[in-house]
Amino acid sequence: KLKRNLESPSKPDQVISLAPSHPFYKEINEVVANHIRRLMTENVEEKVDWVCIADQGDMKVFKRELEENGIPIDPMKAVCTVKGITGHEVCQYFWAFDTRMEWEATLDLSRAVEWLSDDTFISNNVIKRVWPASQRDACFWSHIRHISNKNDETPDCWIVVNYSCEHPECPPNKYVRITMNVALICETIIEPPANESTITRDNITCKITYTADVNPGGWAPASVLRAVYKREYPKFLKRFTSFVIDKTKDKEILF
Ligand code: 18C
């Protein structure tokens, strides 16, 4: 039986390197805290309004159908477990700007707009066009953080949040601007090796929870959008986790 890793090598407590005086400081802390709260209280598998749209054993994707002014804004949630990688590694690659286009198959381009600190930056992302809708783009801050389980009130996890924002160098004037609140939260489970030998990649499993609340902006045909989501979210998770496995397989484990 897999055990939750409560004894991972010492990591710093919750740290934010963005200065408290920064205009995004409060928002980032609130958004991160909401995601952690949601992680601990929401079990979509037990809720009737959440529908499973993909079940591939170790990966399940759920959605809740929701519309706002006729625009589908279905919240998505996926849970998956992947062997051989840690939560830190998964979050690091999900957050890293320089390798984003190596696994992102739904973007035409991604441009860093501003680095706010060593754990937070703003980027502009142009999404591939889906016929017959207009092309979309997004402008969001990406923040990575380790949450320690110091008080046993929260799980020891890594989190990345991609959250829409405005930026003077990224005006919404060329494409339809989507808005989003996306989080990837990872816990590392270690199966203790026999005879206290060194932990290898065979002993680790990452439990990933991915949530995406996306408003596609202007008009988008619901049936096309839902069909694209059903195909693209599982594809993204498979492609992205395979990418992390491949990138880390010959590297030291990053706990
Ligand atoms: O979280 C993901 N990536 C992050 C880093 O880039 C970031 C991005 C989030 C954007 C998410 C959603 C975009 C929705 C766009 C709506 C477009 C409306 C189109 C109208 C349709 C009628 O957090 C991973 C995101 C994984 C996203 C999966 C679903 C995305 C659908 C996007 C459509 C583009 C499909 C192009 C298909 C072409 C494949 C070769």
- The 10s digit of each residue's pLDDT in 16-39 is 688 888 899 999 999 999 999 999
The helix (run of H) or strand (run of E) holding residue 227 is: helix 222-248
pTM of the predicted model as reported, rounded to 2 decimal places: 0.92
| Contact assessment for residue 163 and residue 140, using Cβ atoms and an 8 Å cutoff | yes
Q: Which two tokens stand for residue 225?
A: 């959008």
DSSP conformation class of 84: T
- ipTM, interface predicted TM-score of the complex: 0.94
Strand partners, 186: 158, 208
- If you take atom 21 of ligand 1, which residue's CA is the nearest one? 225
| Contact assessment for residue 109 and residue 126, using Cβ atoms and an 8 Å cutoff | yes
- If you take atom 17 of ligand 1, which residue's CA is the nearest one? 216
Ligand 1, pocket-test mutation among 228, 233, 237, 238, most atoms within 8 A of CB = 228
pLDDT score recorded for residue 3: 33
pLDDT score recorded for residue 47: 81
Q: Which amino acid is at 195?
A: N
| Contact assessment for residue 72 and residue 229, using Cβ atoms and an 8 Å cutoff | no
pLDDT at 111 over 90: yes
Cα dist from 80 to 63, 230, 245, whole Å: 15, 16, 14
